[in-house]
Each structure stands twice: as C-alpha cells, then as structure tokens.
A = this chain, B = another copy of it.
Amino acid sequence: MRKPKIVVLGAGYGGLTTIVNLQKTLGVNEADITLVNKNDYHYETTWLHEASAGTLHADRVRYQIEDVISGHKVKFVKGSVAKIDTEGKRVILEDDSQVEYDYLVVALGGESETFGIKGLKEYAFTISNVNTARQIKEHIEYQFATYNTEEEKDDTRLTIIVGGAGFTGIEFLGELVNRVPELCREYDVDQNKVRIICVEAAPTALPGFDPELVEYAVNHLEKKGVEFKIGTAIKEGTPEGIIVGKDDVTEEIKARTVVWAAGVRGNSVIEASGFEAMRARVKVDKQLRAPGNDNIFFVGDSSLVINEEINRPYPPTAQIAMQQGALVAKNIAVLVRGQGELGEFTFDNKGTVCSLGEHDGIGVVFGRKIWGSKAAFMKKVIDNRALFIVGGPSLVLKKGKLKFL
C-alpha cells in the first residue's frame, strides 16, 4: 500500500510545530513526511528586533532544523518555494525541482507590506529574517563608525527612524534605546547627537493594546529619548530619509537609517499559486483548510482566522501559529488513518507581552495587566516556551533566555 505524502512548507513557528507533532503522532509506516524550507535553520521571528538592534547576536536567534526533526521520520529539503500546483498536487521549487504531496501544510510566513508607499522598498530596512536583521545592525554600526571620520559632521548618520509603533516597532525601539549608549561608547559619539524617531499613522501607539499600558510604554521610551510622531503617516522614503504628513502638512526628516516595521502580509507564493487570499493570507475554514482544497492546510502568517468577538482577523503571532500547527498535525493524522474526526480551531489566547528592552515590558497575561520587570520576566518565559514546544528542554538549555534563572 502506498504511503501518503505529507509536505510542510516553511520551518517557522507554525511549520515546525506541525512537523514535531506529526513526527510524534505518526509512525514511519504511516506516512512520508517532508519539510521544505529556504534555510537549514529556524529563526525566532519574535526575537529578530533584538538581533536588529544588536542587543542579541543573530546566531542566538536561530537553530538548526536537523536538531529538532527526527531524521528517520522527516525528510528535509532545503529550497525556496516558487509555486504550489494544486491540480498536479505538487510544489515547484525555485530550482525547478518538484515535491509531490497528498497533504500539504502551507506555513510560509509573512512578508513586509509597504502599502505601496513610494521609496520604502528601496530605502528602508525591514525586520524580516536573520539576514535583514544582521544588515540593520551592521548598517547602524557603520553609520556610527563613520560619523567621526568625516570633517563635516553629518548628524543624520545618528538619526534612526522607525516606521510604525505597532508591536515590532515598539519592541525594536525598546532594544534600540538600550543599545544607543553602548554604540556611543563604542564609537566615541556624543549621545545628545543621536535621534530616534518613531512615526505612526494611527492615532495611538500599539493600537488594540490597553491604553494604560500603551501610556506606560510610550513614557518609558520617551524618557529614554524616543521622539514619537503619532497620527503621522510616512508619505515617501527617499535616499536621505522620509517625508511625513500630518493634517495636510508635509515635512522631510533626514535619517540615514529608516526601519519599516509597520506592515506584514502573507507570502507571495500564495498569490502566485492562485489561492483566494486577502493580502496573501488565506481565510481558512474551521479545520484550517483553504476553501475548496480539502488536503491543503494553512497556518501562521499564511492563514487568516477571524476573531468572531470583534469580527476582525486575529493578528499573526507565534502563539496562534503554534496552536494552528498542533491542530493541523492532529487533523492530518485523522485523514491519514481514515478514522476519528477533524478538530476545529479555536484560538486560546494566553496573552501578549510586548518587551521594552531586556528589563522592561508591558502585557496582558491570562487576562491580567502586567508591566515592568514582571512583564520582562514573562516575555522570557514565553520565548522559552516556544523553544520547549518545538525542541523540548534541551533546546531551551541551548537557545533559551535563561539569564533570569
């Protein structure tokens, strides 16, 4: 009897959780499992802001995929997905090789969304992956290093603009304000010359968060030198900085470093493959499948699940991706074995913590508001928990944030 082929695309939070649950559940004789990923490592997307600011080494943010998969159960293919051919039931990679599937899990992660704002793609950095995080860190260091070599001092080398005061923007700012004094010491730069500016189009920072906690976060960052421009939209990115607008008044802000942290969309492969999608995210059914494709599951940033309480999509987070991955593994096992019933997804929101540097943060955990060192502690617990779910205690020991022990 031919074994069904299960293929998981992407080794982010959703994909890896699917894989580790599949390899726990299914025997070698029940299915062929393949994992396809661009890199031979997984990276913690939720830690990238630290690598970008330079407060955590990029290698601390990733681990080898082979360290968490069972080699005899899961075949790993290193490759970039170009397209999913749903009729032919196969995945086409960028090197034109193909991977056939009976069951497919699309966990390709998100991409930066610039909403068509002119010049951002060309001139702004994004906190998207290990490569771009390292680039941001090195770019900032190069600007600081260059400052003192020039006779005519160019203060815009010391100006950093963060586009967006959402989750990523605020967490990045939290690291930056801690990093700046280090950078100033390292490169003999007067800290008074450094400017960190956060531009947010919405009428508040961290939209959707509890206002009291938002105020705490903004106060904390302002005290450490961040200038907030709230209700201000980036109109254009230029080689010299950005042009912003508020109430029909536009202004140019010069800065050598612009980090765009304001938008995430799904994966362009989803659009290229013809799935019906909103910003490249597929609105899945209760079983996390694409409408009309009973053998294709979507998890993480590739999927869109409506929060029926407020009739809006849940924001894409590691938490929801991992819960989806666990359910998808269960559902695929049901399909492979032809027995039992498919489970339905309900998001069990355990809370959210937004860090403000290593020793501070804000959050809502199990319905309770927390801030300060308690929030910073919970953030590390959450970070370690993600490692534990995928790789057990050994991965926590190897890659975990254990300083607090």
| Chain A residues proximal to chain B, CB less than 8 Å | 58-59, 130-132, 134-135, 137-139, 141-142, 144-146, 148-149, 186-188
Distance A59 CA – B182 CA, assembled complex (angstroms): 13
Nearest CB of B to A154, in Å? 13
Nearest CB of B to A109, in Å? 16
Q: Report the nearest B residue to A129, measured CB to CB.
A: B149
Distance A139 CA – B146 CA, assembled complex (angstroms): 9
Q: Report the nearest B residue to A187, measured CB to CB.
A: B134
**Does A135 contact B131, Cβ atoms closer than 8 Å?**
no
15 CB contacts below 8 A, A to B, read: A58-B186, A59-B186, A131-B149, A132-B149, A134-B187, A135-B142, A135-B145, A135-B149, A138-B141, A138-B142, A138-B144, A138-B145, A138-B146, A139-B142, A141-B141
Nearest CB of B to A193, in Å? 15
Taking A135-B149, A141-B142 as given, write out 7 further A-B residue pairs in contact, using a Cβ cutoff of 8 Å, ordered by the A residue number. A58-B186, A59-B186, A130-B188, A131-B149, A138-B138, A138-B145, A139-B145
Distance A30 CA – B122 CA, assembled complex (angstroms): 65
Most buried by B among A58, A130, A134, A139: A134
Q: Report the nearest B residue to A134, measured CB to CB.
A: B145
Distance A130 CA – B189 CA, assembled complex (angstroms): 13
Most buried by B among A132, A137, A141, A186: A141
**Does B142 contact A146, Cβ atoms closer than 8 Å?**
no
Nearest CB of B to A43, in Å? 12
Residue among B137, B138, B139, B146 making CB contact with A135, cutoff 8 Å? B146
Across the A-B interface, give the 7 residue pairs with the lowest CB-CB distance, nearest first: A138-B145, A138-B142, A131-B148, A134-B145, A142-B142, A131-B149, A135-B145
Nearest CB of B to A145, in Å? 4
Most buried by B among A130, A132, A139, A188: A188
**Does B131 contact A137, Cβ atoms closer than 8 Å?**
no
Q: Report the nearest B residue to A143, measured CB to CB.
A: B138
Residue among B137, B145, B148 making CB contact with A137, cutoff 8 Å? B145
